[in-house]
Amino acid sequence: MLSKFTRIGLLAATVALAGCTESALESAVGAKASKQLPERIVTQMKAKGMPKSSPVMARVFKEEGKLEIWKQKSNGRYDLIASYDICKWSGQLGPKFIEGDRQAPEGFYTVGPGQLNPRSSYHLAFNMGYPNAYDRAHGRTGSNLMVHGGCSSSGCYSMTDAQVEEIYAFARDAFAGGQREFQIQAFPFRMTPENMARYRNDPNYAFWSMLKEGYDHFEITKVPPKVDVCEKRYVFNQVPEGSATFSPTGKCPPMSQPETLISAYQSQKTSFDAAIATYSDKTLPAPRDSIAGIAEAKLVADWTKRRSRGERVPLEPPAMLGDGAIVASTERMGRIDSPAGRRQAALDAAAAEKKRLEEEKAAAAAQARAEKEAARIAAAQAKEQAEQAAAAPVAAATAPAVAVEESNAGGGLFGAVRKRAGAIGNLFGG
């Protein structure tokens, strides 16, 4: 049913296999970069009809934490040859938006020989090729997004050193056999009906549904899909008519797919949609957190910048809830142990000491002002008390005379009696 499309895919693959020069592989030196695949894998390849130097492809599933290596068999179709547990990946489900958002990419990327790094500080590494045409069409930024060893990630897919040695060997051998580049497909999760039903309300669902078409094409054909971008979206296994070409930001040209693929895809999609419908009334496992778009990406990028400067920040990057609320996964603060961190710690300590001295100086000046004001108030009070004390004897001396005078000046009945008594006394010579 797919024989026509398979032949087309193989023809494209043959063109893609045009020679890789030795100079492109000269960097693959050293024991770790030249380490051969273990015998158990070589035995499996022989059993599956996979030449040692046949082309490879990789698939990544974030939620499941898996990195798969698929290898071309002698019949041209690919089969799974190795599956590894991802040691660590950073960020959440969802695509990478901007430099510093700590998101591991999702999408379709290509890796050429020049992207291998045998001298990586993370044992061995290869650059995923982010940003690709789709990312650039959406203005997304970022650099040095890798698959590497060291089990440490800030936006990469990190493996153990032993794992990355095997993955590196698969790529190295394929390039030696003539493969010019291999495809790496990065997905948020395995795109099963259950998982798509779990995430149907996620803000990234439209993006994931677009990726799923390429996912399905590979599941149907077992050949890496031809990937292009037009109208800022991925298109898979499309052949432009005539001399037309694809422009990532331009209108999609007239294009077509093999009829066998169209038929197989529609049949698969009908079955898939029916399967998703069966989950409408079922209780599904809770979905994992995903990035809330560019707003959260900017929030994390700012945290990353401050952390790289050595500032004290929460130990984990912030997140944004569906209602726009910002939360931190931990209240614990810390700074990165690096030259920048130690330099910033020294600057912070000097600033803190300067602030302490300024506060002590300000406190001493305030204390002096308070003591001066207290002395002024005390002097004023003493003066007032002295004046009151000096005025008190004068008031005491004049008080009786005034009292007698007031008594003598008294009138009324008793005053009249006193006056008549005095007159009588005078009559009798008293």
In this structure, the answer to whether residues 252 and 401 fall within a common structural domain is no
CATH number at residue 35: 2.40.440.10
In this structure, the answer to whether residues 62 and 104 fall within a common structural domain is yes
Q: Would 87 be classed as within a structural domain?
A: yes
Q: Would 353 be classed as within a structural domain?
A: yes
């045409």: which residue's tokens? 133
In this structure, the answer to whether residues 227 and 154 fall within a common structural domain is yes
Q: What is the mean pLDDT of each run of 10 residues along the chain (430 residues)?
A: 43 38 48 95 97 97 98 97 96 96 97 96 96 98 96 89 97 98 98 96 97 98 98 98 96 96 96 93 91 94 92 88 73 73 74 87 92 91 88 64 46 47 44
Structural domain of residue 399, as residue ranges? 339-422
> What pLDDT, on a 0 to 100 scale, did the predictor assign at position 430?
44
In this structure, the answer to whether residues 226 and 356 fall within a common structural domain is no
> What pLDDT, on a 0 to 100 scale, did the predictor assign at position 216?
98
In this structure, the answer to whether residues 50 and 165 fall within a common structural domain is yes
- In whole angstroms, what separates CA 233 from the centre of its chain? 24
In this structure, the answer to whether residues 255 and 400 fall within a common structural domain is no
What pTM, to 2 d.p., does this model score? Answer: 0.75
Q: Would 367 be classed as within a structural domain?
A: yes
> What pLDDT, on a 0 to 100 scale, did the predictor assign at position 387?
86
Q: Would 427 be classed as within a structural domain?
A: no
């944004």: which residue's tokens? 320
In this structure, the answer to whether residues 253 and 306 fall within a common structural domain is no
For helices 205-221 and 259-277, the axis angle rounded to 10 degrees is 130
Q: Would 154 be classed as within a structural domain?
A: yes
In this structure, the answer to whether residues 352 and 246 fall within a common structural domain is no
> What pLDDT, on a 0 to 100 scale, did the predictor assign at position 408?
47
> What pLDDT, on a 0 to 100 scale, did the predictor assign at position 343?
75
In this structure, the answer to whether residues 231 and 352 fall within a common structural domain is no
User: Which of these three, 334, 350, 383, is where a domain ends?
Assistant: 334
For β-strands 107-111 and 116-117, DSSP reports them as unpaired
In this structure, the answer to whether residues 216 and 326 fall within a common structural domain is no
> What pLDDT, on a 0 to 100 scale, did the predictor assign at position 366?
92
Range 71-109 burial, b when 16+ CB lie within 10 A, else e: bbbeebbbeebbebebbbbbbbbbbbbbbbbbbbbbbbb
- For residue 396, how many other CB atoms are within 10 A of its CB? 8
Q: Would 283 be classed as within a structural domain?
A: no
Catalytically annotated residues: 148, 156
CA atoms of 8 and 85, how far apart (whole Å): 34
Domains contained in the chain, number:
3
